[in-house]
Structure 1
Amino acid sequence: MNKYVILIAMLASFGVAFTSNAVSVALPTIAVDFNITNIMQNWLVNIYLLVIAAASVPFGKICGKYGLNKTMGIGLIGYVVGSILSGIAFNIEFMLVARIIQGIASAVLFVNSMAIITEQVPPQKRGQAIGITVTGVYLGLTLAPTVSGFLVEYVGWRSIFYITVPLILISYYLLTRIDKEWIIGGGDPIDVKGSLLYVVGILILMYGFTILHDVIGIITVVIGLVILAIFAKYELKEQYPIYDMHLFRNVKYTSSNIASLISYFATFVVTYILNYHLQYLNGFSPETTGLILIVTPLIMAIGAPIAGRLSDKINPQILAAIGMIIVSIALVILCFLDETTPLYMIFISMILQGVGFSLFSTPNNNVILGSVDKKDIATASASLSTVRTIGQSFSLGLLTLVFAYIMGNVPIIPQHYPQLILSSQVTMILSTILCIIAILLSLMGIKSGNKN
């Protein structure tokens, strides 16, 4: 049973990660086909992340109430539908709708994968199981640039959305072989009002962040924060909240969630910066770019299960802090990225980032899932998905913001390359500062008496 559960979670995680990262290499080609600007390129990824962030918290309760097995199956089928629609998109508007469908299904898969493992695998082996599942994510990230680059160059960018469909269908078949159903809070009513407040608040906040260079963006962010504050106050009084805000009284839970959000905020953008640098400034093909970008996620895939086993034996918060220190060093190197940067320096940075993030991610996930009671597992799992995708969306939003201030809303062509270089450097400086904050957060709560 445990092997089936872990394999299903790993395959689903692989498929979702592959498709999300494969798009990055294909962006320049898609931009030519659809005749879109640099900022609209970012939105092909950002809309996907935004939907996952908005949907994960409500789905944390909904999936637990109606059964993790059943809803996992719905998510797998929904993801296949979204992938096919993305592949047949004939314009940017159609593709954005398809990405929204993918995002909704991915939210279900992200939430259920961790929740099922936490339900089924005993605590003493949970870190290793989480590590294997995270390996699925990193294998997807690892293979995505190379396979995507090859497909874009020799088959066409549409094929990147079809390539993982067979694996998702295999995962669905394995799921049908499991008779067991996991119900969490089955008798609790769904907090509809709280769900709506959260979804509206997070959507407005994240959208506002992507247009923060404009006055309307600042106003939108403020409105989003106000709605989320109302949501938090409402949830504290609700008997059956969609998200139990009392969990944030747990120091380990709170600091590790914030550390996770900031770490993805700081690092997710690196792939896009390197992708633009290698294809535009160095003139590499999508295939060659994909081969280079494989370095970081490959090391993550190798390191994640090792870090998972270590986190069952060594304080995971210490491991997470060490990991973020290494990531910070990697980002410092990229703060000086320009057309004269030798390729070996980029490789060194990517290797350090891979080692550091594998040491951070799995142990940090173990802290979050291990610091709550069984009844809150679905909520904690949803939190993992939410903070990850909010961080990733903010990261891409940061690049969009810097683009807007330095480059403007323009196509990426040779006459704008100096502004592209400056945009990358400014973004990396800000990301390094965020990493230092994540280090401090990872160290918080080590001496607390909270469950782990």
Structure 2
Amino acid sequence: MNRILPLETAVLIVVMATSFLTPFMGSAVNLSIPAIAAEFGDNALLLGWMVTGYLLTSAVFLLPFGRYADIVGRKKVFIAGTVLFSLFAALSGLAWSLTSLIWFRAAQGIASAMIFSTGMAILTTVYPAPKRGKAMGLTAAVVYIGLAAGPVLGGVMNHYLGWRSIFHFTAIIGILAALLAIWRLEGEWAGARGETFDFIGSTGYILALSAVLYGFSSISSVIWAKYILVAGLALMALFLHHQSRQQHPILQVELFRQNKVFAYSNLAAMINYSATFAVGFLISLHLQLVMGYDSQMAGLILLSQPVLMAALSPFAGTLSDRISPSILASWGMGITALGLFLFVFISVDTYLGLIIANLALIGVGFALFASPNNNAIMSAVEKKLYGVASSSLGTMRLVGQAVSMAVVTLLIASFVGDAGLNKNSAPMIVAASRASFMVFTAICIIGVFASLARGSKERSAPDDAKGQQD
């Protein structure tokens, strides 16, 4: 079988297949928000939690699952996560209320944590350093293909088959990916086999991060949210103290203290996603509820951003094998900040061509940032920490996405209030979007400095030619 499909190629195909799932579903679901609102009610806060709930559970379980996979085997956790992801996607398509949909999406988020805490680690283990940037660039390209396919296929499915078809389609793709992994991936990868798993630390981490993200997301709508946020921050401080005293922690605190490249690259990732993730959500609402396009047409318009991401990511990843990822990523963040700033001036009368051009500009910036930044993170640690590094990267990404949605949910709730997400509230939606883009621009500018702070000469951790397979 290895002659037909070498291990490196097999791993790349499987990781690319699963990397397609979440961005496809996320971008497709964004287009279906008005349809879901029409069926279950247009409560802006609950509709926001359909996205935020998924991101929250994904973020809080990533690190524990990454550490657990390093001990028991990454392939086991990866395949189990893919199967569960598909199951809860199918159940989301059968939801009978907005509340049930939120709970199924939250459960799906836990499954996605199992996938994304292991996929990048497996890929990094198998691919040697000189070829790693190219592999990550191809994986990033598939992520953006998912983002591109989501608006197009999701818009068509939502328009002709209803929003539930998006979840059913995702479930089918997930099962196919799981079968491919079972069929083609031989052996197992466990970089920390024999070490103990910190259950107390994992529980504290899950509770602390859940409280922080929930408190921040709900501070405008739940009276106790600020107290939950403070409690979460206090619990997080206790967790970090606990981890510094453990022989086998789930979070290598010293790694962030001593490894400048790793620390600032993770910070840059969190900031970038905080500034960019909700762009698709906002522009989807603008196109449908402000400008009057149907979901199918809106999907085609949104395609302008991920197409450029997909086209440029392999090039950016390969380039990061030759020159400093810090330089590429910082330029990418700067271009993204410019695109976000231009959206501050969006209005009811904004010319559609300008929206498309600006989405394309943000796509270029994100492509130049993501692959080089991922390469910098994974190349900054030794092999036994690949699971932890992959989970840290995933956690930063998802925390950033949750923060991005929390900002939007808070501002939409403030501007729209009880009016609901419908065409009658178009002026209020525009005002909320403008305020959101102001915040995102400021965040992204800070991110440029975080990206530059790691220096221009990243170091690679010791690496062997092919990676170890247990």
- 1:185 offset after TM fit, Å? 0.8
| SS at 1:184 equivalent | coil
Q: Which moved more, 1:373-382 or 1:14-23?
A: 14-23
**What is the Cα deviation at residue 301 of structure 1?**
0.9
Indicate if the aligned counterparts of 1:257 and 1:368 stay in contact, CA closer than 8 A: yes
Q: Which residue type is aligned with residue 123 of structure 2?
A: I
Who is 2:248 aligned against? 240
The alignment status of 1:389 with 2:395, answered yes or no, reads no
How much has 1:326 moved relative to structure 2?
A: 0.7
Q: Structure 1 residues 341, 447: CA separation in 2 closer, same or farther (over 3 Å shift)?
A: closer
Mapping of 1:125-136 within 5 angstroms? Answer: 125-136=131-142
Q: How has the CA–CA distance of structure 1 residues 416 and 178 changed in structure 2, closer, same or farther, with 3 Å as cutoff?
A: closer
Q: Distance in 1 between matches of 2:332 and 2:247?
A: 39
Deviation of 1:96 (Å) = 1.7
Q: CA deviation at 1:451?
A: 3.7
Matches within 5 A, 1:171-190: 171-176=177-182, 177-190=184-197
Aligned partner (choices 78, 103, 107) of residue 109 of structure 2 = 103
Secondary structure in structure 1 of the residue aligned to 2:186? coil
User: 5+ unaligned residues in a row in structure 2: which ranges?
Assistant: 1-6, 462-470
Change (3 A) 1:2 1:432: same
Supply the distance in 2 between the matched residues of 1:449 and 1:8 (Cα, whole angstroms): 29
In the aligned structure 1, how far is the partner of 2:382 from the partner of 2:236? 25
What letter corresponds to residue 21 of structure 2 in structure 1?
A: G
1:358 matched to 2:356: no
8 Å CA contact retained: 1:330, 1:348: no
Alignment pair present for 1:25 and 2:31: yes
Question: Counterparts of 1:448 and 1:138 in 2: how far apart (Å)?
Answer: 28
What is the count of residue pairs matched by the alignment? Answer: 452
Query: Helix, strand or coil for the counterpart of 1:47?
Result: helix
Which residue identity lines up with residue 39 of structure 1 in the other structure?
Answer: L
1:326 paired residue number: 335
Matches within 5 A, 1:116-131: 116-131=122-137
Task: Give the conservation status (yes or no) of the 8 Å contact 2:32–2:163.
Answer: yes
Aligned-pair CA distance for 1:94:
1.8
Structure 1 residue aligned with 2:56, among 50, 54, 67?
50
- CA displacement, residues 108-158 of structure 1 (integer Å, 9 cap, x when unaligned): 111111000011000111111111111121111110011111001101110
The aligned amino acid for 2:420 is P
Contact 2:133 2:372 (C-alpha < 8 Å) held by counterparts? yes
Corresponding residue of 2:297: 288
Q: Give the match for residue 167 of structure 1.
A: 173
Rounded to whole Å, the distance in 2 between the matches of 1:335 and 1:449 is 35
Which residue pairs with 1:274 in the alignment? Answer: 283
Give the RMSD, CA atoms, in angstroms: 1.3
- The yes-or-no answer on 1:299 pairing with 2:305 is no
Equivalent-residue separation in structure 1 for 2:165 and 2:25 (angstroms): 10
CA contact (8 A) 2:56 2:398 kept: yes
The change in CA–CA distance for 1:247 and 1:448 in structure 2 (over 3 A counts) is farther
Equivalent residue, structure 1, for 2:147: 141
Correspondence for 2:203: 196
Amino acid in the other structure paired with 1:207: Y
Secondary structure of 2:449's partner? helix
Structure-1 separation of matches of 2:356 and 2:458: 41
Give the partner amino acid of 1:182.
W
Q: 8 Å contact 2:312–2:368 — kept in the other structure?
A: yes
2-structure distance, mates of 1:332, 1:319? 20
1:428 equivalent in structure 2: 437
TM-score, normalised to structure 1, is 0.97
Give 2:465's aligned residue. none
Residue number in structure 2 paired with 1:228: 236
Q: How does 1:397-436 map to 2 (within 5 A)?
A: 397-436=406-445
Deviation at 1:172, TM superposition (A): 1.9
Q: What amino acid does structure 2 have at the position aligned with 1:422?
A: A
Measured in 2, the distance between the counterparts of 1:150 and 1:413 equals 21
Q: Specify which of 348, 351, 364 is matched with residue 342 of structure 1.
A: 351
CA drift of 1:265 comes to: 0.4
Encode CA deviations 1:89-112: one digit per residue, 9 max, x unaligned: 111122122112211111111111
Superposition deviation, residue 163 in structure 1: 1.4
Q: Distance in 2 between matches of 1:311 and 1:328?
A: 21
Letter in 1 for 2:231: I
Match of 1:213 in 2: 220
Q: Helix, strand or coil for the counterpart of 1:162?
A: helix
Task: Kindly state the Cα deviation for residue 389 of structure 1 after the two structures are TM-superposed.
Answer: 0.7
CA-CA distance at 1:240 after TM superposition: 0.9
Going from structure 1 to structure 2, the CA distance change for 1:415 and 1:32 (only over 3 Å counts) comes to closer
Contact 1:57 1:386 in 2 (8 A): yes
Deviations 1:32-90 (A, max 9, x none): 11114111111111110000001001001111111111111111111110111011111
Query: Matched residue of 2:117: which SS?
Result: helix
User: Structure 1 regions of 5+ residues with no counterpart?
Assistant: none
3-state SS in 1 of match to 2:254: helix
Give 2:156's match in structure 1, choosing from 147, 150, 162: 150
Q: TM-score, normalised by structure 2?
A: 0.94
Offset, 1:22? 1.2
SS in 1 for 2:264: helix
Task: Check 1:414–1:147 CA distance in 2 against 1; reply closer, same or farther (3 A cut).
Answer: closer
SS in 1 for 2:224: helix
